[in-house]
Amino acid sequence: MEAPQHILDGYKVLDFTQVLAGPTTTRLMVELGAEVVKLELAPGGDFARSLPWKHETGRSAYHVQQNRGKKSLCIDAKSEEGREVIKGLISQVDVVIENFAPGTIERLGFPWETVKEINPRAIMCSISAFGQGGPLTNLPGYDYIAQAYAGVTHMIGDPDRAPSFPLLGIGDVMTGVHAAAAIGFALLFREKTGRGQYVDISLLDSYFHCHEVNVEIYSATKGEYEPKRAGSHHYAVCPLGLFKGKDTYMFIIALDHQWPHLCKAMNRNDLITDPRYDTNVKRVEKISEVAAIIEEWLAGTPDDETALKRLEECRVPCAPVLSIAEAVAHPHLRERKTIRKVEDEIIGELEIPGMPLRFSEFPELLDLHAPYLGEHNEEILDRYLGYGKDKIADLVRSGVLHRGDT
């Protein structure tokens, strides 16, 4: 028996997803060896193909990052012939995944009831902003919209200014990872029972799940304590936040058991037993004073590197606030392949975020290629459905199948 190339080798996925949340799920799955058929709606395919940065040919680096290793089938899903193709594919795969607005997959003719009838062993996963039920279900939504509804945006920024939001797809990527985990668990359940099932994953649920303390503290105090954004410092732990160094900013955390270590690093052993600061509760009440003490020490060091080294020697959790350029160049990220160099036929050499899941049995990364639009039309219809060249040619002539050069 041939050894598997990775942990999901042999599993087949029909992927209707676009842009980021859903493609994150299938990106992880294809990196782990699954065969992912990326079904793109004709004529333009995944909207991600239009996102920056774009090569002069029109090829998108965003698309390359999110869709390496997937096989592209570009099809008119509203045509009768297109729907027959999709039905045939559903019968052959282990997983069907989509991230359309709720109701869209039903209008295309493939709700869970239909998928289950075609393939009772299939796992179907729907990813959306607000989930498949509830008052918000039918509203349009993206990452930042769900973030705002989840109370997360409210917690970001300075207390006397408008809320802020992070300039990266935290919610989309996190939701995609949640979906990947749920699909994996559903496949494990299928191995035990032989039964497929439907999985409903939402951005809002995923974001709300990140409240490690805000919700429980509000509930436990019967609303007397309402968490609010606190700018550069945490409202419940001190010190925990951003501090101005000699050159730039750094993040420093010292929980109760680490406070003596921080005092030692600053050569301020007197603060360890100082009754004004000897508990976290007292320090939280004097956040401004504590921050001033720390920043005064930082200002007196030769440079940030010296300060960080001293903190590290004393086992105080700390980090420089790196720019993207600095993070990409960091030796730790390089050694672990957290930043990964890939080759694209058109764009050339490109650095992208690496694979975050590491398996001892499969230490090597797969060599993957981002598909051109409709690149695998013929291969998929031949191998999955047994369509001959003449039948495929007819689908091309009738406009059911589409191809692109980026």
Let me know if 52 is exposed, middle or buried by CB neighbors in 10 A (0-12, 13-18, 19+): exposed
Q: Considering 172, 200, 247, 303, which one is annotated as catalytic?
A: 172
Q: Report d(CA 289, CA 270) in Å as an integer.
A: 15
Q: Is 34 left (phi over 0), alpha (psi -120 to 50) or beta?
A: beta
Total residues found in the chain within this entry: 406
SS3 368: coil
Let me know if 366 is exposed, middle or buried by CB neighbors in 10 A (0-12, 13-18, 19+): middle
Query: Pick from 201, 214, 202: which is nearest to 151 by CA?
Result: 214
Element (H, E) at 401: none
Beta 348-353 vs 339-344: how paired, if at all? antiparallel
Query: Pick from 189, 31, 180: which is nearest to 97 by CA?
Result: 180
- Residue 133's identity, in one-letter code, is G
SS3 122: coil
- Tokens at 214, concatenated: 């805000």
Q: Which residue has the tokens 């406009």?
A: 399
Q: Report d(CA 91, CA 312) in Å as an integer.
A: 56
Q: Please indicate whether residue 344 is annotated as part of the active site.
A: no
Active site residues: 172
